[in-house]
Amino acid sequence: MSRDRQMIGDCPKCGGNDLACAYNHFESNELTIDSWEHKCPDCGFRETTAFRSDEEDAKPEDVDPHICPYCARSRS
């Protein structure tokens, strides 16, 4: 389990500067999960997306799970 978190600022809900973008990677046997979370500590705004390797049908081919679907940054 690795964790990668960056402050990206500019909350879309309250305009605050503390919006954080967090990336999580989980791997075990056949399953790989890449998840992204945007969270604002000021207003509680939160959005998450998870890419699971066992849900290939739900994942379009052109989506890269290593790029944030919200701010388009790559995992570090």
Q: What's the closest the beta carbon of residue 46 comes to Zn ion, in angstroms?
A: 9
Does the footprint of Zn ion cover residue 16 (CB under 5 A)?
A: yes
How far apart, in Å, are the Cα atoms of 33 and each of 24, 50, 67?
8, 7, 13
Is residue 51 within 8 A of residue 35, CB to CB? The reply is yes
Q: What's the closest the beta carbon of residue 41 comes to Zn ion, in angstroms?
A: 8
Does the footprint of Zn ion cover residue 34 (CB under 5 A)?
A: no
DSSP 3-state of 56: helix
Binding positions for Zn ion, rule: CB under 5 A: 11, 13-14, 16, 21, 40, 42-43, 45, 68, 70-71
